Amino acid sequence: MTLTATPGTAARGAAEPAVDLDGVVKRFGAVTAVDGISLRIRPGEVVALLGPNGAGKTTTVDMLLGLAQPTEGSVRVYGRKPHDAVALGLVSAVMQTGGLLKDYTVEETVRLTAVLFGKPPGSADEALDRAGIADIGKRLVGKCSGGQQQRLRFAMALLPDPELLILDEPTTGMDVGGRHDFWQAIRRDAQGGRTVIFATHYLEEADAYADRVVFVRRGRIVADGTAAEVKSLASGRTVRATLAGAVEADLRDRTGAEKVEVRGDTVYLHGRDTDAIARYLLNETPARDLEITSRNLEEAFLTLTADDTEPAK
Amino acid sequence: MTVLTERSLPRFGGFSLGMIKLELRRMMRNRRTVIFTLVMPAVFFLLFGTNAKTRHETVGGGNVTGYILVSMAVYGAMLATTSGGAMVSIERAAGWSRQLRLTPLKPVAYIAVKLVLAMIIGLVSVAVAFAVGSVSGAKLPAHAWIECGLLAWVCALVFAAFGLFMGYLLPSENVMQILGPVLAVLSFAGGLFAPLDTFGHTFATIAKFTPVYGVGQLARYPLTHDGNLWLAVANVAAWTLIFSIGAMWRFRRDTARV
């Protein structure tokens, strides 16, 4: 199954892409982790890389950061080699786990990062503040909770004031409260126009925080579009209405719905163009109490990933 | 976007005083490092080198207590620089090295910082041992206090390289628990804890090729003017080369991008 929904923002495409992956393949011995991904991300987009474990998300992130080299294809970040972009502070990342030393304090860790990027000491305080951990600056990293450590990684990632921020499964292992706080901080930050790419397998996160969702499965992009587009592509929406004396076959012919169900006085019409279905019902029939619901992203995700045949190119 | 052109890389590949300061503070926070490198050699000296016999017996222009003090200073500097170098093992295990690759810090600058740190704690270790020695009956000619101290410190660079090599070779988080006993054995073999002539002839000959021997001989030379100086220099040079090559080999493998 191939599903593509290009967001209608081609007009802005003139600017240099923040990320340009072209035919990227990554093999580890006999295992192909990434199997031909081409992806362009424009400055300012907030993109979710969504997929099950082992789909190739982390490998893709590693290649964007210059931590891994593609076997084939090219990776460009703001027109540069990934490692150069990282060294210049154009791109930074919040990694999944590790990457912290227990015997540094929170503040020292951020200060060291400031030193490494050649930033003034004040920038460390600012980053601590923006990540919401200024109050635990004196605490040893080893004594911080998972959520606090993650916000520390976020503070470190903010230090170079990157154009592009990459988050790899940023909320793994956080409780609900920690997850909420973390996304609040990211969201506040993204309002300044930073490009954000986050890899996740939490569907609700992709749904709630991304402008664009890129589904990855078995090292390939299976779908690409806004969360709403992808959801409707994957599963369509359902219109529910109260309509007495409806006939299933009749409704199917007139509305173009894929599936029609009549339960007493209630009808359920399932299809991709629910606007047209609703228009028909309201204009041409005495239907009332209309309700349009989409399946949540979780169901869309299952629909997309349950298909076990190789996706056609 | 104007921001794009304003960005620049830090000087010296990220090698900076600021980083060294923060790293030093972190090392001093580690009680095990402090005990291992600063307290233990001084305690060993007080236990084995300050009895009446060693105080009265003379060597060169000083006493045996002074001789043992220099050996213990070498031992301390060696522990300090090894553990300084071996820090990379812990940092790799914690994923910190990977995190650093997301900064402009060049791997070579990172190694340089580690070497400087190892040498700083090595210097502190020698200074502490000598301070304790000076008030506990160690006698050395004035020039020997300075020369022996400097040699003990500078030659410990061998073990900074050794520590780095082992730090990259051993993935363990408790790398010093392995290296501590190894260093103790090497110190015995190198004649730091007992003179080599107390061993059998064959063993004493083999011992001359072990890495601690050269450093010990060189550091004590300003006091003793004894033994083959060039053999000692050759020993130090050879082991420095071997450990440096080993460290470079593992380091390249570690930083190679897959």
| Residues A172, A86 within the same domain | yes
Instruction: Name the minimum distance, in Å, from the CA of B125 to any CA of chain A.
Output: 21
pLDDT tens profile B8-37: 888 888 899 999 999 999 998 988 888 888
Give the side-chain half-sphere CA count within 13 A for B180: 11
Per-residue pLDDT averaged across A226-239, rounded?
74
Going by the DSSP 8-state scheme, the letter that residue A135 receives in this structure is G
**Are B102 and A102 within 8 A, CB to CB?**
no
Chain B contact present for A163, CB below 8 A = yes
- Give the pLDDT band of residue A235 (cuts 50, 70, 90): low
Q: What is the pLDDT of residues A10-22, one digit of tens each?
A: 344 457 899 999 9
Structure tokens at A214: 């890129």
Residues A242, A207 share a domain? no
Q: Which of A213, A232, A251 is the last residue of a domain?
A: A232
B100 touches chain A (CB under 8 A): yes
Any idea what the CATH number is for the domain that residue A75 is in?
A: 3.40.50.300
Q: Are A178 and A205 members of one domain?
A: yes
With a pLDDT cut of 90, the percent of chain A lying above it is 47
Give the domain-ending residue among A232, A264, A284.
A232
**Mean pLDDT for the stretch of residues A224-249:** 81
- Tell whether A213 and A192 lie within a shared domain: yes
Identify whether residues A83 and A19 lie together within a single domain: yes
A265 belongs to a structural domain: yes
Within a domain: A139: no
User: How would residue B52 be classed by pLDDT, with cut points 50, 70 and 90?
Assistant: confident
The verdict on a CB contact (< 8 Å) between B102 and A100 is no
Confirm or reject contact between B2 and chain A (CB < 8 A). Answer: no
Q: What is the pLDDT of residues B149-206, one digit of tens each?
A: 999 999 999 999 999 999 999 877 678 888 989 999 999 999 998 888 788 888 888 9
Per the domain annotation, does A299 fall within a domain? Answer: no
Cβ-based contacts of A95 with chain B (< 8 Å): 95, 98-99, 102
> What average pLDDT does the segment B106-134 reach?
94
Q: Give me the residue from B8, B30, B94 closest to A100, CB to CB.
A: B94
Indicate if A168 and A73 belong to the same structural domain: yes
Query: Does any CB of chain A come closer than 8 Å to the CB of residue B249?
Result: no
Residue A199 lies in a domain: yes
Higher model confidence: residue A9 or residue A52? A52
**Is the predicted pLDDT of residue A5 greater than 70, yes or no?**
no
At residue A240, φ and ψ (nearest 5 deg) are: -115, 135
What values do phi and psi take at B17, rounded to 5?
-65, -35
Smallest Cα distance from B98 to chain A, Å: 7
- Report pLDDT digits (tens) over A75-131: 999 999 999 999 999 999 998 888 999 999 999 999 999 999 999 989 999 999 988
Question: Does A210 share its domain with A181?
Answer: yes
| A199 and A287 inside one domain | no
- For residue B256, give how far its alpha carbon lies from the nearest alpha carbon of chain A (Å): 9
Distance from CA of A116 to the nearest CA of B (A): 6
| Domain annotation covers residue A167 | yes
Indicate which of A16, A115, A168 best probes the interface with B, i.e. most B CBs within 10 Å of its own CB. Answer: A115
The verdict on residue A201 lying in a domain is yes
Q: Which of the pair, A187 or A305, is modelled with greater confidence?
A: A187
Per-residue CA distances from B210 to B71, B74, B176 (Å): 15, 15, 20
pLDDT digits (tens, 9 = 90+) for B129-149: 999 999 998 999 999 999 999
**Are residue A55 and residue A19 in the same domain, yes or no?**
yes
Of A3-7, A138-142, A177-181, least confident by mean pLDDT is A3-7
Cβ contacts of B43 within 8 Å, gap of 6 or more: none
pLDDT the model gives residue B257: 61
Which of A73-77, B86-90, B114-118 shows the lowest mean pLDDT across its residues? B86-90
B257 and A95 within 8 Å at the Cβ level: the answer is: no
End position of a domain, from candidates A194, A212, A232: A232
Of the pLDDT bands very low, low, confident and very high (cuts 50, 70, 90), residue A304 is low
**Which pLDDT does position B77 carry in this prediction?**
95
Same domain, A62 and A85: yes
User: How many domains does one find in chain A?
Assistant: 2
Query: Domain limits at A275?
Result: 237-294
What's A140's DSSP letter?
Answer: B
State whether residue A221 sits within 8 Å of chain B by CB: no
| B93 → chain A, closest CA residue | A98
Q: Which two tokens stand for residue B139?
A: 């006698």
Residue A199 has pLDDT above 70, yes or no: yes
CB contact under 8 Å between B96 and A112, yes or no, is no
ipTM greater than 0.90, yes or no? no
Contact A117 B30 (CB under 8 A): no
Is residue A259 in a domain? yes
Alpha helix (H) residue ranges in A117-244: 121-130, 146-158, 176-190, 203-209, 227-235
- Residue B67 phi, psi dihedral angles, 5° rounding: -60, -45
Closest to B138 (Cα-Cα) out of B61, B190, B209, B214: B61
Q: Are A169 and A225 in the same domain?
A: yes
Residue B142 touches chain A, beta carbons under 8 Å: no
Residue A272 falls inside a structural domain: yes
Any A CB within 8 A of B255 CB: no
The CATH number of the domain holding residue A255 is 3.30.70
Distance of residue A83 Cα from the nearest chain B Cα, in angstroms? 8
A266 and A288 inside one domain: yes
Tell me the pLDDT of chain A averaged across its residues: 85
